[in-house]
Chain A
Amino acid sequence: MPILTRLFIKTSFLYLIVALLIGVLLVGRSVWQLPAWLAGLSPVYFHLLMVGWVTQLIFGVAYWMLPKYSQQQPHGFDSVWWATFWLLNIGVLLRAIAEPLRATPSTALWGWLLAASAVLQWLAGIAFVFNAWLRTKER
């Protein structure tokens, strides 16, 4: 299993654990005395699961399993794959931080960081499709 696949998959495992932990905290608010801002983590919980965990797992397995692009470049354009990894993870982390903090006094700053996280994740998706599309071929 190539290094980038291991990195994608192991990072996705971390998101899985963090997302499930947030899931516990979201429900735990009704049982324990927890800060009110935790309620703002609901979309973060869902996106850590669907983007950080599932999508990232798919990206890692696709890098590994899709037919070779060529003998010289079996995975396609590796620099674009690395860009996919970093754009996706910086984007997801930025969202996880900025979204709940939008409720703080410095709303504008966090709002712009949230918008930046949207752009980063979008670029990650486009970069993935670029490489994966080229490798979706007969052999």
Chain B
Amino acid sequence: MPKLSRRYLHMAFFNLIWGITFGGLLLYNKGVPLTPLMWKLLPLHIELMLVGWMIQFIMGIGFWIFPRFWRSRGNDTPMRWAFWLLNIGVWLAGLNGVFNLPAQIFLAGRIFELTAGILFVLYAWRRIKPPGTGEWGKKRARTTTGS
């Protein structure tokens, strides 16, 4: 598993732990009320579970297992940027609900997430291809024989 996938997965696990902790507190509070303030954790719980955990895990696994260009995964710069944008975006958007931050911060978080998603799709698009083809779908024989 490449280093970048490991980074994605470890961060997904980190977000999962926080996501289930906040979700667990919310559910516990629903059964045995502790404080109404607990409900402020709901947006952060949703953001962490859907984007920080599930989407990030899928992106990391995709980078690992999608068909490669011979032995290379190509230029992974978009995936590196997507990692930071996604995680900053998740926490900005999630914490907004907890602390009642300005709407611009919530919006910034969501724009970061969108940008991360676009970068992932732009990167991964070329790797969704038949086996044995290069970056632009050319057969290997054509590139290796020079014909």
Give residues in A with beta carbon < 8 Å to B.
Answer: 50, 54-55, 58, 65-67, 95, 98-99, 102, 110-119, 121-122, 125-126, 128-129, 132-133, 136-139
Contacts and interface: CB of A to CB of B under 8 A. Distances in A.
Nearest to B13: A129
Nearest to A124: B20
Contacts of A65: 61, 65
Interface string B3-39: 1001001100100110011011111101110000000
B6 A137 contact: yes
A118 B21 CA distance: 9
B41 to A, nearest CB: 13
B91 to A, nearest CB: 18
Nearest to B14: A129
Q: Which of A66, A118, A122 gathers the greatest number of chain B CB atoms within 10 Å?
A: A118
Contact of A122 (B20, B61, B65): B20
A84 to B, nearest CB: 12
Given A121-B24, A136-B9, A54 B31 contact: no
Given A58-B57, A138-B1, A139-B1, A111 B13 contact: no
A19 to B, nearest CB: 16
Nearest to B31: A114
B24 A136 contact: no
B17 A98 contact: no
6 tightest CB-CB pairs across the interface, nearest first?
Answer: A114-B31, A118-B27, A122-B24, A115-B31, A125-B20, A111-B31
Given A132-B13, A136-B1, A112 B6 contact: no
Contact of A137 (B1, B32, B57): B1
B32 A115 contact: yes
A119 B3 CA distance: 33
Given A117-B27, A136-B1, A125 B9 contact: no
B54 A58 contact: yes
Contacts of A129: 13, 16-17
Contacts of A117: 27, 31
Contact of A118 (B1, B3, B31, B49): B31
A137 B6 CA distance: 7
A52 to B, nearest CB: 14
A137 to B, nearest CB: 7
B20 A138 contact: no
A119 B32 CA distance: 12
Interface in B73-106: none
Contact of B31 (A113, A133, A139): A113
Contacts of A139: 1
Contacts of B16: 125, 128-129
